[in-house]
Amino acid sequence: MSRENNAWKSRHTDLVEPNTKVFVEEFDKTELNEIEKVAVQFIAFKRNKPYAFKNPGSVELRIDTVKFYKLHSFQENDYFDEDALIYYLIREDLPEEELLVSAGDLERAMNEKRRANQPARARRKRVGQPEKAKVVEVDLHINQLLDTTAGMNNADILEYQLKKFNETMQTHLNQKGKKLVFIHGKGDGVLRQAILSELKKKYPSCYSQDASFKEYGYGATMVTLR
């Protein structure tokens, strides 16, 4: 099933024989958002012979649709001839409840655990460090943002890079005095000019300059938020 607002839409029902696999459906990238939240329910049984009772399974999954664009997310596995995204539903008769936790939630929990394990003195030092003193670096090289650009032309790539630029700007816009370094490379200067144009149109109060030549050469722009 896939979730639609507060209801569920049945996408496939079938009877799966032991040690077999069943093709469910095929979809393209325009339908990815429809499968972000899915659920699978199943009942295990045997015909014409006694078997151990097992509870019906009901597992809800949150699919990270961004992974479909990242090649390293597809792994060799025992179930398919090609590399695939694998989501386990049940192992050792227990539902995979941890799949309900998003990658962002997991990362936040791990960061909180690391902070909790730090000595009190170290924690006080970090809390006292001015937030604006930390420089944020964002590498806008497309190979750092996406694992593949298959199907994308130069305009699509530039649009994606500028999207990441604007997302970063919006995230930190209220942190006056914060310094952001956007690494765009030297190249033919198209991305750099596009960034400067965005700054002029959308963020006129911010100050921009070439970032440290020693650290980035001619390939980065530093923005100071004002």
pLDDT band at residue 140, thresholds of 50, 70 and 90? Answer: very high
The secondary structure of 106-149 as a DSSP string is HHHHHHHHHHHHS-HHHHHHHHHS-GGGSPEEEE--HHHH-S--
Percentage of the chain lying above the pLDDT 70 cut: 82
In this predicted structure, what is the pLDDT of residue 115? 64
| Two tokens, residue 90 | 């049940």
My answer on whether 82 and 19 are in the same domain is yes
**Same domain, residue pair 91 and 157:** no
Q: Is 28 a residue whose pLDDT tops 60? A: yes
Q: Is 121 part of a structural domain of the chain? A: no
> For the chain, what is the mean pLDDT?
81
Same domain (yes/no): 145, 203: yes
**What pTM value is reported for the model?**
0.44
- Whether residue 205 sits in one domain with residue 162: yes
Structural domain includes residue 64: yes
**Could you say which of 42, 74, 95 is where a domain stops?**
95
- Encode pLDDT of 47-66 as tens digits: 889 988 888 888 888 888 88
CA gap 185, 208 in Å, rounded: 16
What is the CATH classification number for the domain harbouring 13? Answer: 2.60.40.1600
**Per the domain annotation, does 117 fall within a domain?**
no
Domain residues for the domain of 43 are: 2-95
Residue 170's CATH number: 3.30.1370.110
Predicted confidence (pLDDT) per residue in 98-133, tens digit: 434 444 444 555 566 566 666 655 445 444 445 445
What pLDDT is stored for residue 33 in this prediction?
A: 78
Instruction: Work out the number of other CB atoms within 10 angstroms of the CB of residue 219.
Output: 20
Total structural domains within the chain: 2
Give me 170's structure tokens. 């919006």
- 116 belongs to a structural domain: no
Q: Residue 211: inside a domain, yes or no?
A: yes
Burial (0-12, 13-18, 19+ Cβ within 10 Å), 90: middle
Is 107 domain-assigned? no
The tens digit of pLDDT for each residue in 160-206 reads: 999 999 999 999 999 999 999 999 987 678 999 999 999 999 999 99
Same domain, 90 and 38: yes
Indicate whether 66 and 144 sit together in one domain. Answer: no
135, 209: one domain: yes
**What pLDDT, on the 0 to 100 scale, is given for residue 103?**
45
| Sheet containing 220-224, strands listed edge to edge, beginning at the edge strand earlier in sequence | 136-139, 179-183, 220-224, 207-210
Asked whether residue 141 falls in the same domain as residue 61, the answer is no
190-202 and 154-172 helices cross at what angle (nearest 10)? 40
Residue 114 falls inside a structural domain: no
Do 81 and 138 reside in the same domain of the chain? no
pLDDT band at 68 (very low <50, low <70, confident <90, very high): confident
Are residues 90 and 140 part of one domain? no
Q: Are 164 and 145 in contact (CB under 8 A)?
A: yes
Average pLDDT over residues 206-222: 87
Q: What percent of the chain is predicted at pLDDT more than 90?
A: 32
Do 82 and 151 fall within a single domain? no
Would the pLDDT of 73 be above 50?
Answer: yes
Domain for residue 110, yes or no?
no
**The pLDDT value given to residue 222:** 93
